[in-house]
Structure 1
């Protein structure tokens, strides 16, 4: 294969991968939908990507390793503190729902799809997976509340390796004879293999944590060291049993997530970036490698099987799993619908289908077509319906700007009250319990704790908020907070004061890349606003309105009795940096400002209006005096 052609195919894979992710972000539709479309476009339609020709015999190993890294990236975020509210629900969905789904799917595979029992049992085991490659992007897009999001996330990451390995064990079982001695030997060796993988997974995690926490690995080398260890451990586990590497890296990730490793956030960020590229590329490769004729070969029984899987088996499984779990009917209904299958389902089916045919089960050739059809159907159906259904059931946060304010100063409370009055969700965070007393009295939600603590993500529902305002009296601390949350919310959604050192020598400036957007006007800082508030200044918000009102506002601004803080767009989006001019704002914009009510008469228009009011009052007073004089003149003399 010519090098230019190889580079061309790799370039097309990268292009469709990034294009799919960007379109998903731009349209607010799960990126997986665009990745599937991109794969079909790159492969069967345009024929610019041919994975079998590009990778040859390396296709399955590359996909398997990529899935292993993706599972590790997902499992390293599974801290047990995250599921404090859904612990019982998660365990029941995994340990009760999994076997129920296996049994029901196997029965449906045999009686509905017409598969033989060995093939049906193997396929049923594989279909208990709900791929994290789809679930995690879907959860980000749907903005679900904490409990249903935790259930779906844990189910996807934990069940993915379990389902894949269980399907492989079924295949290995049916490959052997049915003698009692063989069966007992098979079961005992399998249990022993799993225990070995779990033991070494925890041991590897402990060694990594020990080395990282004692700085035996330099910071710049930690991501590469961790990735290399994951690849090595994945390969070692696969030498014990085929695809046991998926279980191994999952155990390794969960163990690391709960061992308090120093710098775990930076490692998560690196792994997330790598995972995005792997998820995108693998989806493009898999869909580009699909022969459309395979999908067209699915008969009516196969279509009925897919419908039963989505509309009957999954709801029944979640209903039975939710009994005595504390899940509401809304949570049961939502999680009973969402169960998209992803890369693991398609990849393992591609391996097991031909293997089952090779040992005498001819209907094994149907697995590839059914698996890809299930992936396509569930990704499109669940990916496009999860967000609107969650909204309907009240299990998704509203699509509006919601703000975390760090720093419980008196004027921060007044600012929060103004935003709350405009129907924005606001919470004030501070590590000083007494400082939060006034916040609670003002009926504003509070978070007591250090916002930079690892505990924050487990006690503060970050998914509910999309903006942050760091307004403590320490610019460096504000910059540190913004740096942490830039990755969570985006650089355009985190704000702080512009440090006044910006006008000084560069050695005294805080780097722009590690701080947030400037809050309000550049000339104001924490102490300036505090001083103005003590002199009677107050926050106000008002619709800009017609040009006459805009001119009055501008006149007050130029007179120094009004400070622009930010504005609210007609689409109810909150912007917390001061506009350079009101000329670019529409009449429907709402201006947020800091004003001096006592200085309104300094503006000529206001002064003239007040003078006119005074003149009227004087005339009324004179008229009253005339009336009194007339009354006195007409009074009878005593």
Structure 2
């Protein structure tokens, strides 16, 4: 260890490694345990930071900590802007406008009053922190929406509000901070307000200009495919830095506007760009939370009192519901959707990052309670994330605004085989949707009461009309092998490659027809093709579903049905798992087997367990 290094400090390289391992490791553990990731990340950061003292960002990374957090937040907001396609708003557009135009200033006012009379902060700190509290946290909302499989309109409202209000909240805090600092100096208030307004306008112009320039360059093929992501990153950083130079924190607005412009430019390579940005955002969110949690000072936390509980409860039960309900007065949104949105307001990375930064500046300016802003922000984030992480999905289901608790299966291609499979799955309680661009292929499924989508599942209409959050398994089973491969390849990142399946391709055993492993889905039903599966139905094979019990195990089932083709299993909670068909799975009692039975096979079903 170098002589100038503080005893007990780790090298910057080791510090970055610790941040990465803890951040990504916490997200993976949260996925395994089905817990809110932000809670585990905060816990990990606090444990290695103020509790054990193993990692101190100010000591181990030094002055780079602040700029790293600022750039990470900028990338997070830019990625959020990339998700805001105006074509996807549809009937939620009016509600989003209300939540932004009315909800943001109203939320600022109510949050300031809550901080003043609930937390006991002075007007200066309360006004600055109240602006930051407009932010609801897109990095927290997105996992909640995936977990609850929320209906499209309330999901759009929550997502758009979170992303659009992020830079608005930060700018509101900037405005309040400039006013507070101005009142403590000899500058005139009017001059400070003019500076902020000018900075906001310049930031918006910079975001529009950079976004338009990038879109135009990509459309005209002035940038090769392998350089699009690097060019996008460099343009993002330049956009943020340039706007931030004009007015501090206005870079957040600039990068959000830049993302909006690119998202609505209909770029051919937009999907690949957004997916890469999503991966980068996961890394950055993890890193920011670990850095902020490890920087927490217990001495500041000890200054919090019982009024912190009053403040948090007032935000969740009074300020947030009033903001939403008053903003949506006069809209045609159903009462249930308004209630769900009003009771959902988790805070996340931008709130903690900006609160920590501005709280320190208030303290430096001589504001007595400025050092309480960061601990209060942590308390609010932890409480709201834990609360909504465990109650959002049950609340959405109770209000009838989410899909069934057990996710369903999307069958692409209407045929005799998929229709029969859908029928037996529906009887077993599994949500099923059959999609096909041929109307004739959907006549029989519709007659059986099976949900269908008439059109191309890859079309923009499908994005608007099909609630994909209701399904977590996909089977591409049309009579077109190339189309099946295209569908499976396109949906694999969204559904997960372990839940994206494809029926066998003709001539797939020939070397000249073989495809790379990254294309297509998992082989289904031992690689049987469309003609082979439909041929089985023509021959008289029938679909069956049998429940296993302690008295009738997997071995007993196979002994009685040696020629049956096992297609999948349904767990006790209704979760479907399709099978490759090469060997029988190891499943316990309570699971149901979905299979094809040869014609003329008369096997007595086992008596149900008492």
Provide the TM-score with structure 1 as the length reference: 0.87
Does the C-alpha gap of structure 1 residues 455 and 240 become closer, same or farther in structure 2, counting only changes over 3 Å?
A: farther
Counterparts of 1:530 and 1:263, CA distance in 2:
37
Indicate conservation of the 8 Å contact 1:131/1:340, yes or no: yes
Alignment of 1:384-463 (within 5 A): 384-463=390-469
Does the C-alpha gap of structure 1 residues 212 and 305 become closer, same or farther in structure 2, counting only changes over 3 Å?
A: same
Counterparts of 1:567 and 1:372, CA distance in 2:
44
Structure 1 window deviating more from structure 2 (483-492 vs 274-283): it is: 483-492
Indicate conservation of the 8 Å contact 1:499/1:510, yes or no: no
TM-superposition CA deviations, 1:357-398 (whole Å, max 9, x none): 444432323222222222222222222322232233223322
Indicate conservation of the 8 Å contact 1:25/1:31, yes or no: yes
Q: 1:594 aligns with which of 555, 580, 596?
A: 596
Q: Secondary structure, in 3 states, of the residue corresponding to 1:395?
A: coil
Counterparts of 1:360 and 1:114, CA distance in 2:
17
Alignment of 1:75-114 (within 5 A): 75-114=81-120
Cα distance, 1:454 vs structure 2: 4.1
Counterparts of 1:600 and 1:34, CA distance in 2:
53
Aligned to 2:608: none
Aligned to 1:510: 515
Aligned to 2:575: 573
Q: Secondary structure, in 3 states, of the residue corresponding to 1:98?
A: helix
- For the pair 1:327 / 2:311, whether they are aligned, the reply is no
Aligned to 1:525: 529
Counterparts of 2:334 and 2:176, CA distance in 1:
35
Indicate conservation of the 8 Å contact 1:30/1:141, yes or no: no
Aligned to 2:607: none
Aligned to 1:629: none
Cα distance, 1:73 vs structure 2: 0.9
Q: 2:69 aligns with which of 63, 77, 100?
A: 63
- For the pair 1:53 / 2:55, whether they are aligned, the reply is no
Q: Secondary structure, in 3 states, of the residue corresponding to 1:115?
A: coil
Counterparts of 1:158 and 1:600, CA distance in 2:
61
Structure 1 window deviating more from structure 2 (172-181 vs 473-482): it is: 172-181
Indicate conservation of the 8 Å contact 2:436/2:454, yes or no: yes
Q: Secondary structure, in 3 states, of the residue corresponding to 2:119?
A: coil
Which structure shows the higher helix fraction?
1
Alignment of 1:141-540 (within 5 A): 141-176=147-182, 182-505=188-511, 507-522=512-527, 524-540=528-544
Q: Secondary structure, in 3 states, of the residue corresponding to 1:512?
A: coil
TM-superposition CA deviations, 1:71-109 (whole Å, max 9, x none): 111110111222213222222122111111111222233
RMSD: 2.6
Counterparts of 2:588 and 2:383, CA distance in 1:
44
Does the C-alpha gap of structure 1 residues 451 and 359 become closer, same or farther in structure 2, counting only changes over 3 Å?
A: same
Unaligned residue ranges in structure 1 (runs of 5+): 607-638
TM-superposition CA deviations, 1:299-330 (whole Å, max 9, x none): 23343223222221111112212212233333
Indicate conservation of the 8 Å contact 1:295/1:373, yes or no: no
Indicate conservation of the 8 Å contact 1:542/1:591, yes or no: yes
Cα distance, 1:24 vs structure 2: 1.2
Does the C-alpha gap of structure 1 residues 300 and 569 become closer, same or farther in structure 2, counting only changes over 3 Å?
A: closer
Counterparts of 1:313 and 1:563, CA distance in 2:
58
Indicate conservation of the 8 Å contact 2:106/2:323, yes or no: yes
Unaligned residue ranges in structure 2 (runs of 5+): 605-610
Counterparts of 1:472 and 1:239, CA distance in 2:
55
Q: Secondary structure, in 3 states, of the residue corresponding to 2:406?
A: coil
Cα distance, 1:415 vs structure 2: 1.8
Cα distance, 1:207 vs structure 2: 1.7
Indicate conservation of the 8 Å contact 2:504/2:530, yes or no: no
Q: Secondary structure, in 3 states, of the residue corresponding to 2:173?
A: helix
